[in-house]
Structure 1
C-alpha cells in the first residue's frame, strides 16, 4: 500500500440539488405572479443562482415587462379587465391564454439574459473564455426572445427593417 487515497473526480452527470420550495413573486394585482421554481426549471438555472439573486432578477424583469406593456394594460382596464387572466385570450394553448404564456416568456427571458450576463462577467478568466462566448450567445437569444414576447403580446409583427 502506498498510502495515497484517490477520490473520484467530480462528475457533470450528477444532478444538481433540488431547488428550494416553490416561491411566488408578485408584481401587482393585474399581472400574474411568477413561480421561482417553475422559472428555475424552465430556464435551466442551477442552484449556483441563489434564491435571493433570482428573486431580485424576477422583480426587475417584472418592472421591465410592466413598463413595456403599460399602455396596453390601461386599455384593458378601461375595458373592465381587472387582471391579465380576465383579458379574453386570442388563442389558448393547453387551456392557457396566450397572454399568460407571453407574460411568463418575457419574464423568463429577461431573467435568463440578466443571469447569463452576470455569469459571463464571472467567467472571464483565461480558462473561462470559451464558456463566456457560449454564455454571450445564450444571452443574445434570450434578449431576442424578450422582444418577440413583447411584440407578440402587443400583436405587432416581428419584422425589423434597416435601411442601408
Structure 2
C-alpha cells in the first residue's frame, strides 16, 4: 500500500572498467521499477552480475572503440541526449534489462504478487532477456536477426 512516504532507494555506485559507464543501484531501481522492498544486496548482486556478463559479450566492441581512440562510451561519436551518448544509453538498457530478468524470482516471493502483479511471469523474464540480447546486437552493429548456414 502507498504510505505517502517517498521511496528510498539504495544509492550505491557500481564502478565499471573505465570504458563502460559506472552504474548506480538507485538509478537501476528507479529506471526499471524495482520494488524498494527487494533486498538491496540482492539487487546489487543482480546488477553486478549483469554488468559483468554484458561487458564480456562486448569485449570486441570495447577493443574496437579504444583502438579508434575512444576511452569511454561517452567519447564515441553518435546521437546524444543531455550529454549521454547512445552507446552509454544502450549499454545501460542491456544491463538493466538483464538484471531485472535475474530478479524476477524475487517478485514471486510471498506477499509481492499482490503489490507487483505480473512482474513474476516467465513471459516478462523472457521479454527482458530478449530486450537485452537485441540491444547487445545493436551495439555490436548486427541486425535484429541473422541466418547462418550450418
The two structures have a TM-score, normalised by structure 1, of 0.76
* Residue 105 to residue 93, structure 1, CA distance change in 2 (3 Å): same
Please report how far the alpha carbon of residue 17 of structure 1 lies from its aligned counterpart in structure 2 after TM superposition. Answer: 5.6
Please report how far the alpha carbon of residue 13 of structure 1 lies from its aligned counterpart in structure 2 after TM superposition. Answer: 4.5
Kindly name which structure, 1 or 2, has the bigger radius of gyration based on alpha carbons: 1
Q: Match for residue 124 of structure 2?
A: 138
**Secondary structure of the corresponding residue to residue 144 of structure 1:** helix
Within 2, Cα distance between the matches of 1:159 and 1:143? 15
Question: Is 1:71 matched up with 2:57?
Answer: no
Q: In structure 1, which of residues 25, 37, 42 is the aligned counterpart of residue 14 of structure 2?
A: 25
Q: Match for residue 34 of structure 1?
A: 23
Please report how far the alpha carbon of residue 93 of structure 1 lies from its aligned counterpart in structure 2 after TM superposition. Answer: 3.7
Within 1, Cα distance between the matches of 2:26 and 2:19? 21
Question: Is 1:80 matched up with 2:66?
Answer: no
Please report how far the alpha carbon of residue 44 of structure 1 lies from its aligned counterpart in structure 2 after TM superposition. Answer: 0.7
Contact 1:24 1:36 in 2 (8 A): yes
The two structures have a TM-score, normalised by structure 2, of 0.82
Q: What number of residue pairs does the alignment pair up?
A: 145
Q: Which runs of 5+ in 1 are unaligned?
A: 1-11
**Secondary structure of the corresponding residue to residue 158 of structure 1:** coil
Please report how far the alpha carbon of residue 76 of structure 1 lies from its aligned counterpart in structure 2 after TM superposition. Answer: 1.1
- Of 94-103 and 60-69, the range deviating more from structure 2: 94-103
Q: Which has the higher contact order (CA 8 A, sep 6+)?
A: 2
Q: For each residue in 1:61-106, what CA deviation from the matched residue of structure 2 results, as whole angstroms up to 9, or x when unmatched?
A: 11111011001111111111111111112x2245421101100000
Contact 1:23 1:36 in 2 (8 A): yes
Q: Which runs of 5+ in 2 are unaligned?
A: none
Q: In structure 2, which of residues 86, 89, 102 is the aligned counterpart of residue 101 of structure 1?
A: 89
Q: In structure 2, which of residues 112, 116, 136 is the aligned counterpart of residue 150 of structure 1?
A: 136
Q: For each residue in 1:12-65, what CA deviation from the matched residue of structure 2 results, as whole angstroms up to 9, or x when unmatched?
A: 454676223522111211111111111101111112221111111111111111
Q: Match for residue 102 of structure 2?
A: 114
